[in-house]
């Protein structure tokens, strides 16, 4: 029996933001000679290199948001409206991180009008029968994408510690199928994404409703069975509940223009890291030397 390939899907935005804020908090922007900060971009590359050495994938893909405006903003003006703009030191690092990713030999993916989550969901849908998949992210919304062949590794501490969710673990902990998680999110809302859900229904009540009834539609059809307070809250917020579900649901049908074979993990050459070091990306070069015994 042949072993399935192992695909590592990286949420590039999550790792870039995480790396930036981890070092920016101490004022470590690690600038190039011209003063351009590199802390987030270098941290992102180092994180992926370390993950690769731990998880040993055969294939790798990096997913990105392509600008702040997506189809979700068309659905709802308030979507992510309360998020602060990225710090000025981070602005040049979005393109820098994508360029470094390409130079490392990793394929970047992003689709205008879609979020990285939607691209990740579509990759899982496309390749879940072809490969065992691990997604690295910090975004709990991705739990809805778990399948028997897909696990989500949430960043925990540094570059080496992860909280890994499998399909089985999710069902044991939540008592629902992963695809129902967006319906739970719809009831409880998400303040960081700016959608309200049903005011007054928190995570525990939201989960209990979906465990009991299975879906938003079935909850609405069974309102008479609910306590009067809960029933009133839902009745008064039905439109926002349905909209919240649309916003919380990750798309899985975004076209992925790539053959699986093109995602094969590259071999790393000494000259790649030497060139990066000469341009001022010294932390990446140092990491490469420790991981790949490159002189």
Domain hosting 163: range is 6-172+251-292
**DSSP character for 195?**
B
| 165 shares its domain with 210 | no
| 36 shares its domain with 155 | yes
Residue 295 confidence (pLDDT) above 60: no
d(CA 51, CA 182): 28
Mean pLDDT over the full length of the chain: 93
pLDDT, position 290 = 83
| 133 shares its domain with 196 | no
| 106 shares its domain with 188 | no
pLDDT, position 2 = 66
pLDDT in tens, 167-223: 999 999 999 999 999 999 999 999 888 888 999 999 999 999 999 999 999 999 999
Cβ atoms 6, 262 nearer than 8 A = no
pLDDT, position 237 = 93
| 106 shares its domain with 229 | no
Domain count for the chain, please give it.
2
**Does any domain span residue 186?**
yes
| 190 shares its domain with 201 | yes
How far does CA 172 lie from the centroid of its chain? 22
d(CA 165, CA 154): 8
pLDDT in tens, 93-116: 999 999 999 999 999 999 999 999
pLDDT, position 158 = 83
CA distances from 177 to 90, 131, 134, 201 (A): 37, 21, 18, 20
Q: Which ranges of the chain would DSSP assign to H, the alpha helix?
A: 12-24, 39-55, 71-75, 93-104, 116-127, 167-174, 181-188, 203-213, 216-221, 228-236, 238-248, 270-278, 282-292
pLDDT, position 189 = 92
pLDDT in tens, 122-149: 999 999 999 999 999 999 999 999 999 9
User: Which range among 16-25, 242-251, 285-294 shows the weakest confidence by mean pLDDT?
Assistant: 285-294
| 97 shares its domain with 132 | yes
**Does any domain span residue 120?**
yes
* Residue 227, domain CATH: 1.10.150.20
* Residue 75, domain CATH: 3.40.50.1010
| 36 shares its domain with 180 | no
**Does any domain span residue 267?**
yes
Backbone torsions φ then ψ of 115, nearest 5 degrees = -95, 165
pLDDT, position 288 = 87
| 25 shares its domain with 118 | yes
Residue 39 confidence (pLDDT) above 90: yes
**Does any domain span residue 101?**
yes
Banded model confidence at residue 152, pLDDT cuts 50, 70, 90: very high
**Does any domain span residue 37?**
yes
Residue 84 confidence (pLDDT) above 90: no
| 201 shares its domain with 229 | yes
Q: At what angle do helices 270-278 and 93-104 cross, to 10 degrees?
A: 160
Note the pTM of the prediction, 2 decimals. 0.95
Cβ atoms 140, 14 nearer than 8 A = no
| Percentage of the chain modeled with pLDDT above 70 | 98
The angle at the Cα of 265, spanning 261 to 270, to the nearest 5 degrees, equals 135
Cβ atoms 151, 161 nearer than 8 A = no
User: Which range among 65-74, 104-113, 146-155 shows the weakest confidence by mean pLDDT?
Assistant: 65-74
- Which tokens sit at 180? 């129902």
**Does any domain span residue 1?**
no
**Does any domain span residue 204?**
yes
| 261 shares its domain with 146 | yes
pLDDT, position 294 = 58
| 40 shares its domain with 156 | yes
Cβ atoms 167, 146 nearer than 8 A = yes
């Amino acid at each position: 029996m042949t072993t399935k390939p192992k695909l590592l899907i990286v949420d590039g935005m999550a790792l870039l933001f995480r790396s930036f804020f981890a070092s920016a908090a101490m004022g470590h922007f690690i600038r190039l000679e011209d003063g351009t900060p590199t802390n987030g971009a270098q941290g992102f590359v180092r994180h992926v290199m370390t993950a690769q050495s731990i998880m040993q994938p055969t294939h790798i893909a990096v997913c990105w948001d392509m600008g702040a405006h997506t189809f979700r903003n068309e659905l709802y003006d308030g979507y992510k409206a309360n998020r602060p703009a990225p710090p000025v030191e981070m602005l040049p690092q979005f393109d820098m991180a994508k360029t470094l990713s390409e130079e490392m030999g990793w394929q970047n993916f992003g689709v205008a009008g879609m979020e990285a989550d939607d691209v990740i969901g579509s990759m899982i849908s496309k390749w879940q029968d072809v490969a065992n998949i691990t997604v690295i992210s910090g975004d709990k919304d991705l739990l809805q994408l778990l399948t028997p062949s897909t696990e989500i590794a949430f960043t925990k501490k540094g570059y080496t510690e992860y909280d890994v969710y499998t399909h089985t673990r999710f069902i044991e902990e939540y008592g629902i199928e992963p695809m129902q998680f967006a319906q739970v999110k719809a009831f409880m809302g998400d303040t960081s994404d700016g959608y309200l859900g049903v005011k007054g229904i928190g995570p525990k009540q939201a989960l209990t409703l979906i465990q009991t009834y299975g879906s938003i539609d079935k909850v609405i059809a069974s309102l008479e069975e609910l306590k009067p307070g809960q029933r009133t809250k839902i009745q008064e917020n039905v439109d926002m509940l349905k909209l919240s579900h649309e916003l919380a649901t990750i798309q899985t049908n975004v076209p992925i223009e790539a053959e699986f074979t093109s995602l094969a993990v590259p071999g790393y050459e000494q000259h790649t890291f030497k060139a990066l070091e000469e341009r001022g990306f010294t932390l990446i070069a140092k990491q490469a030397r420790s991981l790949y015994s490159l002189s």
